[in-house]
A and B are shown apart, each in its own frame.
Chain A
Amino acid sequence: MKKKTARKNPRVLFWGIFAAAVLAAAAPLLIPAPKEAFPVAAFGRLPVLEGGRVKPLDTFARNSLLIIRGTQTLPLKGRTVPAVKWLMDAMWRPEAADTQPVFLIDDPDVRGLLGLTDKARRFAYWQIEPKRDEIHTQAQHAAMVKSAERSRFQSAVITLDSRLNLYEQIKNTLMISGDGDPAADMAVFAQVVPAALRVVHGGKATAKDRQAVKVLSQLLERYRFLAQAAAFRPLPPPADRPADAWTSIGEAMLKPSAKDGPHPGLADYALMGRAYRGSDPAAFTEALTRFSQWAEQERPGMMSHARAEVLFNSAQPFVSGMALYVAALLAVFAWWGTRRPEAEAAAKALFGAAVLVHTVGLAARIALQGRPPVTNLYSSAVFVGWVSAALGLVAERAHRKGFAIAGGALLGFCTLVIAQHLSASGDTMEMMRAVLDSNFWLATHVVTVTIGYGSTFLGAALGVAWVGRKHLVKDPDPEMTKALVSLTYGVICFSLLFSFVGTTLGGIWADQSWGRFWGWDPKENGALLIVLWNASILHARWAGYIRERGLMVMAVGGGIVTSLSWFGVNMLGIGLHSYGFMAQAFYWLAAFIFSQLLLIWLGLLPARFWEIEDEEEEA
């Protein structure tokens, strides 16, 4: 009877922890947002066209703030201001937004140029404004230098200039930098056009008409400026126009449709601006609701897509995934330390929940973007982590010792951290450049080769676990060691299959688009190295040149090779596949490689250095 409950308890515990973990991950969706005077969240769900795709204002606001400030929210006077609220301030009340410390400036020389002496890392626009022209001139000079040869100051000043440009574009998207009342301007515009037309068509013009021409030309000048400065296009095309015929405020004012007159969104956006500037939430809500209803009627698909993306943005599945992976890792350690079934249940439940959340996030991205999972470096990090973790989940079912959980959780966490850092460069669902615009090849070559990365990393993590066990565990269970080794062997076989097929598929894609199967491009070479490394491990094992230790140590080496081919080649800054120079990532990569070399060295120490006699040496 007692035995039965003991066996039953962990099961209940498992599902209990699993449910609690999933619920915790869903918390951002379940907890209601703090009350705001203006309907900030509803405004954030409006779709706009920017960067070639339709996205909700929420996404644009988050990405812009991420580029400018490095975060997705703005802490201000003890409150957390959502990105959309910051965007609304920048667009309609720039006099307030200009005082908010959002510009991240780390470079001491750039701070020196601006005469900024505070300890803070982030500065307000008004602090920079006096030297705005100087920044622009310096950035233009720096842009003449090839990107790989720029000094730290030159890179930093270019970055700051582009952040300032983005901010200034935002300020001049819906109205000209908080100047005047857009709704009143529109009314004047409608009034003066007939009078001005009379003058143009040579009718009998009064002095009032001539005055109207003057006013009109000033307004046209302003709308021309808005058309050219806008950061995004807020006005969706009516249902009978092509789906990508979005317009900015300025464009819509300058070219009203002959059939339907001015775009209905123009008046509503202008009224929203007036209400926001005049602190009139009721009027704001009214205009927003009217515009949303119109858009819903004309473009229901775009509206629901934007709502789904906002849901994804606020759920932040990869952030909760990260936390769950850490929790799972700690639980595995507790399980190994205590050998208690409760800890085992917790480890499995937390890891399962983490993989589930990661999978949901990945699936949501695929659905939102309408693309296979890997489209850029950011998504490759998310996918590599998912492959490692999902493989870990499968492998754990074969050998229930916790190694696969530990390896999968560690890699899931690390890759999500990497992804988090990579996302700072802007929209992670950017459009695919011409040659990459092929879902077939993204789904075959890119996915297989990335699965190869993920599983090679899992093999490396298992190798690290083996080295750690050898040094840390006093009395290792030989059965567990055997399980670990055979698991690693299987993972390496899997890696070889996927990295080889992925690499040759890449060659075939290259043959389809450039006419050469293999061009010894750095990225191709990196992929080839992974194949060669995995093949070497297996051949050396089959020939008997290496046994348990050799296999595990070489598996650790697989992590180094993969990291070099994944990130190292991008640092060369040449070749068809390069994404740009990542100076900071370079030091992290170097640190990772150094740590792995250290582990390999630890693994290779002769038997007498081991705390426990090496079975291999005895054999």
Chain B
Amino acid sequence: MPPSAAYRNPVLKALSSLWLTLVCMSLLMVLVVACTLLQVPLGTHEAVVRTIHSFIVWWRPEGASFKVPVFPGGALVGLVLLLNLIFAQFLRLELSRRKAGLWIAHLGLALLFVGEFTTGMFQVESQMPIKVGQTSDYSEDYRLMELAVMDRTDPKTDTVTAIPESILRKGGEIKTPSLPFTLRVLHYYPNSVLGMRGAGDPPAEATAGIGPNLSVRPAPRVTQDDEADSAAALVEVDDGGKDLGRYWLSNALGAPQGFTLEGRTWRLALRPRRYYLPYTLTLEQFHHDVYPGTDIPKNFSSLVRLKDPARGEDRDVLIHMNAPLRYAGKTFYQASFGQGDTLSVFQVVQNPGWTIPYISCVLVALGLLLHFWLKLSASFGRSP
């Protein structure tokens, strides 16, 4: 379409206008400032979800049950800005050598949006704690819970049925072909305060496990990034009318609880959501180096053994600061440590679009350099 035709269509004209660009950039600046300030009371994750990773920013008045839209969210502004960029590029910007820099820079910018979108949609983050000498084949997401129902009859292998948090939140009856009984979620608290039951507490709702001795009260979710929720669920198990007990389950409780049914041993646990890997990592050594005479950390490093029979991999890998292990679409970073330097925690990230920002950064930098260089040389060329 020649540029003149585009100007006749008011929608296209608006979509490709620099005015829209400026409006979006201003909105984005407001959102970024809001997101930064909200991190103090809400914590990073919640602030980002409310302002940036949403189409509309909602505001709920104190104590009200309704919420009002107050501002366009980051996702909406970003999407409009991307459309605006594409339309402006093709309808307004001439395809010439003079503008080559801008073309490259804007292409890089569009890629950056695509990369951020891909990350938002497909990135899965979890953590993998391993003790020195131990082997693990799964990582955990501490933000999401799951109800694990384990058949422990065979001492060698557990058969696990995991029920995701989204189903627990809905409550009600859970039936699945892999379980010979029915589960009923009576309460689900994303965060709770667990304590021993005192004399003044209301009668216990749980009937089995350690539940009868517990008092469980719902609590607001934690906001600080270094705190963790203690989720709790009251689950009733019944086998076609026969009551097998009501259990209080929580990730804050230690050992799984359970019962025996028709010769099989069943265990129930509420635990962080697990992602199983088709290979294993064994932590051979963990080092926490400090500068001499101080406790300023200099480096954290983990020597792990990667074993993947399917691919014929069996080798040592050193994971340390700024040097992650990238393997089979996942990246393992040295994230944390504990238990007197015998436990190493890896951040496990799966992001199919992780290379996009690298390309985009190079494109924008080259594009801007080219553009400013062309402009500068033109202006110096004109004036003697």
Interface hits, B122-175 → A, CB 8 Å: 123, 125
Can you report 29 A-B residue pairs in the complex whose CB atoms are below 8 A from each other? A49-B293, A51-B294, A52-B292, A52-B294, A53-B291, A233-B292, A435-B322, A438-B321, A441-B322, A497-B369, A501-B368, A504-B364, A505-B361, A508-B358, A508-B361, A511-B357, A512-B324, A515-B324, A517-B116, A518-B116, A520-B32, A529-B32, A532-B25, A535-B25, A536-B22, A539-B25, A540-B22, A543-B18, A574-B39
- 8 smallest beta-carbon distances between A and B, as pairs: A52-B291, A515-B349, A543-B18, A504-B361, A244-B292, A434-B297, A52-B294, A497-B368
Q: Quick one: given A433-B297, A515-B125, are A545 and B321 in contact (CB under 8 Å)?
A: no
Asked if A609 is at the interface of the complex by the 8 Å CB criterion, the answer is no
Interface hits, B9-23 → A, CB 8 Å: 18-19, 21-22
B358 cross-chain contacts in A, Cβ below 8 A:
508
Task: Beyond A501-B361, A517-B115, list 9 extra A-B contacts (CB 8 Å).
Answer: A53-B291, A232-B293, A246-B292, A433-B296, A514-B335, A515-B333, A516-B119, A569-B36, A572-B36
Q: Quick one: given A490-B376, A511-B357, are A533 and B29 in contact (CB under 8 Å)?
A: yes
A441 to B, closest residue via Cβ:
B322
CB distance from B311 to the nearest CB of A (A): 22
- State whether B293 touches A525 (Cβ < 8 A): no
A496 cross-chain contacts in B, Cβ below 8 A:
368
A497 to B, closest residue via Cβ:
B368
Contact of B368 among A437, A500, A515 (CB under 8 A): A500
- State whether B322 touches A438 (Cβ < 8 A): yes
Bound form: Cα–Cα A438–B298 in Å: 11
Asked if B26 is at the interface of the complex by the 8 Å CB criterion, the answer is yes
- State whether B357 touches A517 (Cβ < 8 A): yes
Bound form: Cα–Cα A470–B147 in Å: 70
Asked if A528 is at the interface of the complex by the 8 Å CB criterion, the answer is yes
Asked if A297 is at the interface of the complex by the 8 Å CB criterion, the answer is no
B292 cross-chain contacts in A, Cβ below 8 A:
49, 52, 233, 244-246
B378 cross-chain contacts in A, Cβ below 8 A:
none
Q: Quick one: given A246-B293, A574-B39, are A543 and B357 in contact (CB under 8 Å)?
A: no
User: Per-position contact with B for A519-538: 1 when CB-CB < 8 Å, else 0?
Assistant: 11110011011001101100
Bound form: Cα–Cα A35–B358 in Å: 60
A437 cross-chain contacts in B, Cβ below 8 A:
298-299, 321
Asked if B354 is at the interface of the complex by the 8 Å CB criterion, the answer is yes
Residue of B22, B292, B379 ringed by the most chain A CB atoms within 10 A: B292
User: Per-position contact with B for A560-595: 1 when CB-CB < 8 Å, else 0?
Assistant: 000000000100111100000000000000000000
User: Per-position contact with A for B347-379: 1 when CB-CB < 8 Å, else 0?
Assistant: 111010010011011001100110010011001
Bound form: Cα–Cα A233–B203 in Å: 63
B376 to A, closest residue via Cβ:
A490
A521 cross-chain contacts in B, Cβ below 8 A:
44
A561 to B, closest residue via Cβ:
B29
CB distance from A318 to the nearest CB of B (A): 25
Interface hits, B280-336 → A, CB 8 Å: 290-294, 296-300, 321-324, 331, 333, 335
Asked if A493 is at the interface of the complex by the 8 Å CB criterion, the answer is yes
B375 cross-chain contacts in A, Cβ below 8 A:
493
CB distance from B43 to the nearest CB of A (A): 8
B375 to A, closest residue via Cβ:
A493
Asked if B277 is at the interface of the complex by the 8 Å CB criterion, the answer is no
Asked if B196 is at the interface of the complex by the 8 Å CB criterion, the answer is no
Contact of B321 among A435, A529, A532, A535 (CB under 8 A): A435
Bound form: Cα–Cα A132–B281 in Å: 53
- State whether A434 touches B299 (Cβ < 8 A): yes
- State whether A532 touches B32 (Cβ < 8 A): yes
- State whether B365 touches A431 (Cβ < 8 A): no
- State whether A525 touches B365 (Cβ < 8 A): no
User: Per-position contact with B for A342-371: 1 when CB-CB < 8 Å, else 0?
Assistant: 000000000000000000000000000000
Q: Quick one: given A53-B291, A507-B357, are A514 and B347 in contact (CB under 8 Å)?
A: yes
Q: Quick one: given A246-B293, A504-B364, are A513 and B36 in contact (CB under 8 Å)?
A: no
- State whether B44 touches A575 (Cβ < 8 A): yes
Bound form: Cα–Cα A486–B365 in Å: 22
Asked if A494 is at the interface of the complex by the 8 Å CB criterion, the answer is yes
Contact of A431 among B25, B44, B294 (CB under 8 A): B294
A509 cross-chain contacts in B, Cβ below 8 A:
322
Contact of A520 among B48, B115, B357 (CB under 8 A): B48
Asked if B35 is at the interface of the complex by the 8 Å CB criterion, the answer is yes
A539 cross-chain contacts in B, Cβ below 8 A:
18, 21-22, 25
Asked if B82 is at the interface of the complex by the 8 Å CB criterion, the answer is no
Interface hits, A427-446 → B, CB 8 Å: 430-431, 433-435, 437-438, 441
Asked if B183 is at the interface of the complex by the 8 Å CB criterion, the answer is no
Contact of A50 among B52, B293, B323 (CB under 8 A): B293
A569 cross-chain contacts in B, Cβ below 8 A:
36
Bound form: Cα–Cα A559–B352 in Å: 38
- State whether B298 touches A500 (Cβ < 8 A): no
- State whether B40 touches A431 (Cβ < 8 A): no
- State whether B293 touches A528 (Cβ < 8 A): no
A497 cross-chain contacts in B, Cβ below 8 A:
365, 368-369, 372
B365 cross-chain contacts in A, Cβ below 8 A:
497, 500-501, 504
- State whether A522 touches B293 (Cβ < 8 A): no
A500 cross-chain contacts in B, Cβ below 8 A:
364-365, 368
B356 to A, closest residue via Cβ:
A517
User: Per-position contact with A for B23-60: 1 when CB-CB < 8 Å, else 0?
Assistant: 00110110011011101100010011000100000000
CB distance from B74 to the nearest CB of A (A): 9
A50 cross-chain contacts in B, Cβ below 8 A:
293
- State whether A520 touches B44 (Cβ < 8 A): yes
Contact of A512 among B18, B25, B52, B322 (CB under 8 A): B322
Bound form: Cα–Cα A478–B375 in Å: 23
B47 to A, closest residue via Cβ:
A520
B320 to A, closest residue via Cβ:
A434
A516 cross-chain contacts in B, Cβ below 8 A:
119, 123, 125, 349
Contact of A525 among B35, B125, B351 (CB under 8 A): B35
Bound form: Cα–Cα A431–B290 in Å: 10
- State whether B347 touches A515 (Cβ < 8 A): yes
Contact of B36 among A522, A536, A545 (CB under 8 A): A522
- State whether A528 touches B32 (Cβ < 8 A): yes
- State whether B349 touches A545 (Cβ < 8 A): no
Bound form: Cα–Cα A526–B37 in Å: 11
Bound form: Cα–Cα A433–B296 in Å: 6
